[in-house]
Each structure stands twice: as C-alpha cells, then as structure tokens.
Copies of this chain bind each other. A is one copy, B any other.
Amino acid sequence: MEIILKREALSNTLQNINSVVDKSTTKPILSNFVIRTIDGNDSNVEFSSTDYELSLVELLPAEIKEQGSICVNAKKVFDIVRELQADDVHIRSTEQLWIHITCGTSETRLPSVEVGLYPQTVLEELPQSMTITVDDLRRCIDMTLFAAITNESRRNLMGVCLSSAGDQKTRWLSTDGHRLAQTVKSVDSLNFDADKEVIVPRKALTEVRRVAELFGENVNITFDDRVMQFSGGAIIFKTRLIEGKFPNCDPIIPKDNTLEIIVDRESFISSLRIVSSISTEKLRPVKLIISPGTLKLESEKADYGEVVDEIEIEYEGEPFQIGFNSRYLLDVLSVLESKNVKLECKNSMSPTIIKSPDDESFLSVIMPLRVEW
C-alpha cells in the first residue's frame, strides 16, 4: 500500500481511532488499527479500529499510489503524526511488513501486523432505523447519559435504553437505581417496533457524542437486537448492544407529586455548590428546607463545619424539608438550559421530579435522602 494524506485530517482521524482502541494490554492485537484502500474508490482510504464492543470506520481523502492495507499500532502512529510539521504525510508498506511514514524531512519505520489477524468490522443492513439531527442526538445523549451507571455492578444499567414512544418519537432512558433521566425526541423515518427496546452502551454514546460534528447534519441510526450503527458524513460507529433487560422505570416516575417549586436554575446551582463545598463525602448530601417563597439549603452539621444558604422560590404549599445528594441535583441542573426549573415533590420521602417548567419532553427523578441533622 502507498498513500498520501493531509497531516491535519490524518491527525484528527487518528485521535478518533485512538479513542476506540482498547487501552488495556490483555489483547495486544487490539492496540492496532487498520488502513485500507477501497475497491472502486480512488480518492479515499478507510481507517478502522475496534475493541470488539465498539468499532469506528472513517473515510479519509487520500492520494492512492498503490492499493493495499496495513495494520499498525495506533498509539505509536498517533504520537508520531502529532509531532509532524509538513502538510503531506506519505505512508508506504513493504513486503516485510514495515510501514514507512515520510513527512517533510522526517522518515519513520514501524513494524506492522498481518491485517488478517485484526478483527474486521463488517457493516450490516439492519432492520430497525431512524434519522436524527446531530443537535438532537447530542441533546438526547447529554440529557440521559449522566444518570447511567459507570461501574460494572449492573451491566444492564451501563447505557441508555432506547425505545419507540410512538408517533415518530423515541424515548431515551437511563437510571443508576438512585435517579433516572428520560427524554422523548421526535425523529425522522422511524422504523422501530413498538414493543422493542435496546440498551446502547455508555462508551458508544460517549464516542458518538465526542465526534458528533463529524456526522454532518443528520445521523442515520440502524440496529437490531444485537448491534447498532451510527452513520453520517464520513464516519460510521458500530457498537454491540448490552444484552439483558432494562428495568421498567414507569412505576418509579411519580404521578401524584402535587407540591410544585419553581427555582431560578443558576441561583440553585450556585447555592448547591456553596453549601456542598464543605462536604467530605463524594455525593455531598444537602438538606432543602422549603417554605412559601424561600428555599433554605443546609449542609450536614459536621465537626469540620457547616454551610447554609437561602434563595427565593415560587412555592405556595406547606413548609417541608427533603434531603438529596447535591451531585445528583447538579448533574441534572447542568444539562437543563431553561431559566427556571420545576421540582415536583409529594413529601420528604417521595421521589422528586426535576424538569423545565415549560418542557414536558424531559424529566429526571431523584430519590430523596433521609437527612438526620
């Protein structure tokens, strides 16, 4: 193989490729990636990498001198290309499996691996599909991924559950057992069986979100029960879906929360940050003391000190108090964009809904904490 690529585009692509590459050293073959020329395409080459769960295939404009393919260490190539200065990067393979990378006056020689040893990413025609704008996809991921679980304790919660909400709408849902986040979004050309749901893993959504602007304007999503493909622009992500059943969250979303509190979102964030700043616990518990017109926030009364703050709210019911992990509140407040937010409670012990006052498409539910101070 012999190709010439633009350095800057190459460097960006290698960064994406490297994000997918498996960083653990248990499967050394997965530290590599593949470049190949494509039959019948004289102006692009295909870059691909996979960690078995998630694969990325990206097309890059190239001048093709000789067809072929190579498989080479992703981090080495990335580290070298990042330092190069000239505009054109010349990549050539030899029969002895050496890769020569020439740029300006510099020449690099790297060993490579038989392409056949690297797991190939096969793109598929998949039965279910939808088209979503890049902006909507980004919002759907931001509005839900924060509530998905990050550790391996419950694999079925390590992603976002996607299902049809009828009428060309999709429902995106995540939970870690202490809180949930749900957003409903209209999409184009939805072809999604009403009774089906799939769980999209965190890593896939994180990577898709990170490079979202590369998809162009729209992302075409296709899937079956096993895999999902995101394609648009010059890139395609393919991910395995998480096997298992997502818990039925509908019973957890309270229907009879009659106490409504309207809070200025930025004041609420700022007060939560002040009051939680003293805590030594990771999730930083706070107590909210709610009375007509006023929300008082209190940190735990601990040996190392305590903080209180107060903000104005719109509320007309009976005074009551309720505890939360401030981290959970801050997570949802920071993905909302409205001036005000609405908290819907029933009492000190009931799950609380947090949403925009004027947008029914998103809601988050947070379980309260028993506060004993």
Contacts and interface: CB of A to CB of B under 8 A. Distances in A.
A83 B273 contact: yes
A31 to B, nearest CB: 11
Nearest to A280: B76
The binding surface of chain A is classed by DSSP as mixed
B108 A306 contact: yes
A305 B109 contact: yes
Nearest to A108: B307
A110 B304 contact: yes
B277 A80 contact: yes
Nearest to A98: B305
A308 B100 CA distance: 11
A238 to B, nearest CB: 29
Nearest to A276: B83
Given A83-B274, A108-B308, 13 more contacts: A73-B304, A76-B278, A76-B305, A80-B277, A83-B273, A83-B277, A105-B309, A106-B310, A107-B309, A108-B307, A110-B278, A110-B305, A111-B305
Given A76-B278, A278-B76, A305 B108 contact: yes
Interface of A: 73, 76, 79-80, 82-85, 104-111, 270-271, 273-275, 277-278, 303-311
A80 to B, nearest CB: 5
Contacts of A110: 278, 304-305
B278 A80 contact: yes
Given A106-B307, A306-B108, A311-B105, A270 B79 contact: no
Given A83-B270, A85-B270, A308 B277 contact: no
B277 A82 contact: yes
29 contacts: A76-B278, A76-B304, A76-B305, A79-B277, A79-B278, A80-B307, A83-B270, A83-B273, A84-B274, A85-B270, A85-B274, A105-B271, A105-B309, A105-B311, A106-B271, A106-B274, A106-B275, A106-B307, A106-B309, A107-B308, A108-B278, A108-B305, A108-B308, A109-B305, A109-B306, A109-B307, A110-B278, A111-B304, A111-B305
Q: Which of A82, A83, A310 has most B Cβ within 10 Å?
A: A83
Task: Kindly report how many copies of this chain are found in the complex they form together.
Answer: 2
A333 to B, nearest CB: 14
**What are the 7 A-B residue pairs with the smallest beta carbon separation, nearest first?**
A110-B305, A106-B309, A108-B307, A83-B273, A83-B274, A105-B310, A83-B277
A311 B82 CA distance: 19
Contacts of A275: 106
Nearest to A266: B85
A109 B301 CA distance: 9
Contacts of A84: 274
Contacts of A79: 277-278
Nearest to A85: B270
A103 to B, nearest CB: 8
A80 B307 CA distance: 9
A106 B304 CA distance: 17
A305 B111 CA distance: 6
A310 to B, nearest CB: 5
Nearest to A308: B107
